[in-house]
Every structure is written in C-alpha cells, then in structure tokens.
Amino acid sequence: MIYVDETEPDEEAEPPFKPRKVVVKSKEPQNEYILGEELGRGKFGIVRRCTEKSTKKKLAAKFIIINRIDDRQEVEREVDIMRSLQHPRLLQLYDAFDDGKTQMCLILECIEGGELFERVIDDDFVLTEKACTIFMRQICEGVEYIHSQSILHLDMKVCISLLSLIYYNSIHTKH
C-alpha cells in the first residue's frame, strides 16, 4: 500500500530555482542539456528527464510537436504565461527552445511524484479524506493565484496536477 503523509506542510519548499527571464532560443536543447529517460508521452509530444550541463540541475524537457503555425503560436503564448507566473503551486519554466521547424522544447521544473490522477487510480494508493483536503487546498491555491493574475486555466483536470511528495505534501499545477 502507498500512503500519503497527512501532516500539514509546515513551510513551503524552496523554489527549485530563482525566477528567470526566459527567452526562447533558436537552437537545440542538447547543446545545453543532457537528455535522460522518457517521463511521459501525450498527444502533443513527450517529456524527458534532463540535466543542465553547466549546473548539473535536474529538470524536465517537454518536447512539443509543431504541425501548424497555430501550434507554434499556442506554445509561444504558453511560454509568455508561464514567464509571468511565479508561485510555489505552479510548475516553473526554466528555459525554452525552438528549432524553427517541427519542434519546440520547454525546460521545466522536474516534479518527481508523477500525476495525481495516476496515483488516485492505483489500487495500492490509499487516499484519505485528510490527504484529499490537503491536495484540494493546494490545487485551489495555485488556481487562485492564476486567477489573481487575470489568467484563466481552460484545461483544469485532475491529471494535470503533479505530485511532489518526496519532501512536502505538495501539488504543482501545469498551466
């Protein structure tokens, strides 16, 4: 059985890195990052573990397939939004790349706990009412912050909430 630590977090985890001015670079991420194993695959691309060569910082590389001009514009809009949102409950953007052809890559904070939805449907995962209230409060904190910045999250669902349970009972919301 997998149990969730039900203690209320005493403090927020330190941010994984200081806020950065992210500019989309027109080169390959492999110039600056060592790519590791695949963490996930979705409709728009894949996410791989990566390590920044200069700092050895562990991050995640989200490769997004660009099929149409609209796709590139949507990713650019996502980058603009992520640049403006700095909150402990939101997944943080670290770097961005555009090959100018068929792919863009966002370098993101790496959340080790996986997706909340995958945990909830696991038969061995024990989710108590108290743990649910902790998770829901944290998700609401992230969404409240997004709304306070006059941004609406149009794709809110349980499978976009990532768990960071190693050090804190902490939820991060992809935006």
Instruction: Confirm whether 123 is a catalytic residue.
Output: no
Which tens digit of pLDDT belongs to each residue from 81-106?
888 888 888 889 999 999 999 999 99
> With a cut of 70, which residues of the chain have pLDDT below it?
1-6, 8-13, 113-114, 153-175
62 is in an annotated binding site: yes
Q: Which of 10, 70, 124, 155 is catalytic?
A: 155
Domains and CATH numbers, the chain: 2-7+113-173 (no CATH), 29-109 (3.30.200.20)
CA distances from 15 to 23, 46, 86, 99 (A): 20, 24, 9, 29
